[in-house]
Amino acid sequence: MKPVTLKQIAETLGISITTVSKALKDYPDVSKKTKRLVKDLAETLNYKPNAFAVNLRTRESKTIGLIIPEVVHHFFSNVVKGIIAQAEKKGYLVIILQSNESYELEKKQINLLLSKQVDGILISIANGTADFSHLQTAMENDVPLVMFDKIAKIVNCSKIIIDDRKAAYTATKHLIDSGCKKIAHFRGPLMPQNSIDRFLGYKKAIEDHGMLYDSSLVYICEKVNFDEGKLFAQRLVKNHKDVDGIFINGDLVAVGAISALNELGVSIPDQISIVGFSNWFMSSAITPSLTTIDQPGYKMGKKAFKLLYKELKAKKRKQEILPQTVELETTLIKRNSTK
């Protein structure tokens, strides 16, 4: 079945296409009777306005682009859920792309979204991204852009973040308060801001509490996954027998560490206490359950779309867009992996 056109409705009723179009849009210069006739027929024939023509007229696609590093990820899938829930409320659709933590792919995707004329872009940048001209291009093309979670401070757009440094400080301080004397850190890669900030929060907490910062106790996770957690926990136990606490960037890594320590017969939290980061669902289900920092993914997604929507409205009204940075609260969730 071919979609019904305005022309067919006009011909069926013996009136002009303009009248049909005006009747559907409730123009005052069309009689009530004609409107009724047109609308009834349109409904009967399941008429749908041509979205492309509407787009061309309004210069709006009512579609936004979303680029995230990884789809199969508890935190990001919560963010996605928050974004599409909020976007749908406002009549926007969301095109989703995965950058795979690759700068090249991310750049290509930004260009693709621009060529598709999305109204706005939400992005959490890839670990590999150190040049930001593709994001500047979007903004110079008058396409509002909002960054969330993994951001670039240097780009002058709106951002939704958490205070990673403060959260990491809280996590490390909890280990100190519960009696740990030598605390290791499994950090994220060297590049993304949040991994740097979490490391700095850890370091500051150590130094603020009269402990010596020891770089040999810091392990760098490149993939931030289960296997790295397992591997580094095994190495740590072998090389630093007196470590009694670990602050780990990411619950997935922490679950790997717990699994390794369980296998090695190291008692958690009696011998080693562990604090994770993100409050992934499984953190409450493993044995022992994981003390962690709750990172509000769903809320971050909703808020990211809200900020973008505000900018889309400002743009329509030809108002200046003033970038703002919104910081969401994180919470320490105490469970059984710490004393």
Q: Is 264 in the site for a copy of itself (CB under 8 A)?
A: no
| 178 CB-near residues (< 8 Å, 6+ apart) | 245, 269, 273, 338, 339
Are the CB atoms for 157 and 323 separated by under 8 Å?
yes
Type of residue at 138: A
Among 61, 86, 278, 330, binds a copy of itself (CB under 8 A): 61
- For a copy of itself, which stretch binds (CB under 8 A), given 8-16, 155-163, 173-181, 256-264? 256-264
- For a copy of itself, which stretch binds (CB under 8 A), given 15-23, 160-168, 209-217, 281-289? 281-289
Among 209, 285, 325, 331, binds a copy of itself (CB under 8 A): 285
DSSP code string of 212-243: PP-GGGEEE-SS-SHHHHHHHHHHHHHH-TT-
Q: Is 317 in the site for a copy of itself (CB under 8 A)?
A: no
d(CA 154, CA 157): 9
Are the CB atoms for 62 and 80 separated by under 8 Å?
no
Closest CA to 329 of 208, 108, 166: 166
- For a copy of itself, which stretch binds (CB under 8 A), given 6-14, 88-96, 152-160, 241-249? 88-96
181: which DSSP letter?
S
Q: Is 59 in the site for a copy of itself (CB under 8 A)?
A: yes
Among 31, 117, 324, 325, binds a copy of itself (CB under 8 A): 117
Least distance (Å) from a copy of itself to the CB of residue 268? Answer: 12
CA 123 to chain centre: 7
Q: Is 43 in the site for a copy of itself (CB under 8 A)?
A: no
Nearest 5°: CA angle at 279, between 226 and 255? 25
CA 179 to chain centre: 35
d(CA 329, CA 163): 8
Type of residue at 88: E
Least distance (Å) from a copy of itself to the CB of residue 142? Answer: 6
282: which DSSP letter?
G
Are the CB atoms for 76 and 291 separated by under 8 Å?
no
Among 8, 34, 178, 259, binds a copy of itself (CB under 8 A): 259
Among 9, 10, 41, 84, binds a copy of itself (CB under 8 A): 84
Q: Is 262 in the site for a copy of itself (CB under 8 A)?
A: yes
Number of residues in contact with a copy of itself, rule: CB under 8 A? Answer: 53
Among 18, 50, 133, 325, binds a copy of itself (CB under 8 A): 50
Least distance (Å) from a copy of itself to the CB of residue 208? Answer: 34
- Binding residues for a copy of itself, rule: CB under 8 A, are 1-3, 46, 48-53, 55-56, 59, 61-63, 71-74, 77-78, 80-81, 84-85, 88, 93-98, 112-117, 137, 140-142, 226, 255-256, 259, 262, 281-282, 285-287
